[in-house]
Amino acid sequence: MDKALDEMRGKWLTLLGLKKIGFVIVAVWFVYGLIAWSLYGDLEGKGQFGDMYGALNALFSGLAFAGVIITILLQSKELGLQREELKAQREEMKRFADAQEKSEEALSKQAHSMEVVAKLTIISAKIHAESAIGSKVGATLNGRQENIIDLYAEAEKLIQPETDDN
């Protein structure tokens, strides 16, 4: 925040300084013309004095060149700040992409866990049903026990962690 405030002050002071310089230039130019008009009564003298404006033109040219240099320096500074801003933005985007990736992985794991829980619930219901039917029938319990053992084996496969062969 302080950096931005200092930068704004610097711009304001630079702009204020340029306004002062511009005012001084216009004032000097106006006073220069008044002096020429009041000192030289005849047209020939005013013409010679007008030729002396060449020195003032050189001054204006120098000031214009200084203004161009100041503008280039200010633009260079602004470009540097813009580069820093873009670098910070790229880093923020990278952090955001990493967080998004981690979130996607967590959601994938959660979906897989929910699928396993659903399958285990179905197997549990089948085991319950087989047990209930087997206890009511009684005589054909041997075939039911094999079904229950198969269901338990299927549940064991679901519980064991998967290994990636990729």
> What is the rounded distance in angstroms from the CA atom of residue 14 to the CA atom of residue 18?
6
Entry field: residues in the chain: 166
| Mean per-residue pLDDT, 103-122 | 89
Looking up tokens 């302080």, which residue turns up? 2
> How distant is the alpha carbon of residue 142 from its chain centre?
69
Q: What is the pLDDT of residues 51-95, one digit of tens each?
A: 777 777 787 888 889 889 988 988 999 999 999 999 999 999 999
- Band of the pLDDT at 139, cuts 50, 70, 90? very low
For residue 166, pLDDT over 60 is answered with no
> What is the rounded distance in angstroms from the CA atom of residue 144 to the CA atom of residue 64?
101
Looking up tokens 């519980």, which residue turns up? 159
pLDDT in the model for residue 5: 58
pLDDT in the model for residue 79: 92
Q: Are 145 and 134 spatial neighbours (Cβ–Cβ below 8 Å)?
A: yes
For residue 11, pLDDT over 80 is answered with no
Question: What is the per-residue burial (b if ≥16 Cβ within 10 Å, else e) of 39-50?
Answer: eeeeeeeeeebe
> What is the rounded distance in angstroms from the CA atom of residue 12 to the CA atom of residue 14?
5
| Mean per-residue pLDDT, 44-57 | 73
- Band of the pLDDT at 102, cuts 50, 70, 90? very high
Q: What is the pTM of this model?
A: 0.44
> What is the rounded distance in angstroms from the CA atom of residue 11 to the CA atom of residue 89?
24
Q: Which of these ranges, 2-16, 50-64, 109-123, 124-138, has the smallest mean pLDDT?
A: 2-16
